[in-house]
Amino acid sequence: MVALLLLFSIYGYSQKTDSEQTLVHRTTVTSFDLRSKELVGSIYINEDFLPAKLSDSQDHYLIRYNAYQDEMEVQKNGNSYHLSKNLNYSINFEGINKIYQVYNYAEKNETIPGFFVVLYKGEKSSLLLKEKIKFYEEVKAKTGYDKFKPPTLKRVNDEFYIGYKNNLANELPSKKKAILNLFESKAGEIKSYAKNNNLRFKNKEDLIQIFRYYNTLN
């Protein structure tokens, strides 16, 4: 078993503005040793802190997304923070044109808040993406013919979600018929539109076009 270690401590701060209340101090624990020379991979979508802006603030922050623990890490004035998962703001990484927003979703039989990439934001519904990184424990060689596999952090397939105005997100079904059912009375129009434009229900760009069309329907 890989030892349980403290990843890092987040320093406290004094609250000054409403936007700064999204910055929280926290102690984060992992089930593996990030300092291990054998560890392969990263807990981050991007290792670098990138400039980003919160929707409720004019200030810019340096932020990176820890997809393994679903946390946004922030550097500010030499201190480190995590962003709280309240539902009242979004994070815009301006340099890479990428927006995250917090939605409530089902995970392991409970509803929890999490960060989602906003692929398309609509009045009726939005198309979201959940990024995930999974930890795989080391596999020791049992015989001379087996190969040692180091402890590994690996990005797994992103998952599409549909986001609603009440900040609830549901995973998008894998079957086309089930996806069409989400559009209820507009399912027939969506089906015809997708067919006429050769759109696939598993392709990101095609799904964005489908959601954009749906939000134009009365």
What pTM was computed for the model?
0.84
One digit per residue, pLDDT tens: the chain, 218 residues? Answer: 222 222 333 333 333 344 445 666 554 555 667 767 789 999 999 999 999 999 878 888 999 999 999 999 998 888 888 999 988 889 999 889 999 999 999 998 999 999 999 999 999 999 999 999 999 988 888 887 888 889 999 999 999 999 999 999 999 999 999 999 999 999 999 999 999 999 999 999 999 999 999 999 98
> Which residues lie across from 63 on neighbouring strands?
50, 74
Alpha-carbon span 102 to 105, nearest angstrom: 9
* pLDDT for the residue 139: 86
Burial zone of 37 (CB within 10 Å; 0-12 exposed, 13-18 middle, 19+ buried): exposed
pLDDT number for residue 23? 67
What pLDDT sits at residue 17? Answer: 41
Determine the Cα–Cα distance for residues 39 and 136; give it in Å rounded to an integer.
Answer: 10
Q: Report the pLDDT value the prediction gives residue 36, as an integer from 0 to 100.
A: 73
Task: Show me where the domains of the chain are located.
Answer: 5-172, 176-218
Q: Check residue 13 and give its pLDDT.
A: 33
CB 152 within 8 A of CB 41: yes
pLDDT at site 32:
64
**Per-residue confidence (pLDDT) for residue 31, from 0 to 100:** 60
- C-alpha dihedral over 8, 13, 16, 20, to 10 degrees? 10
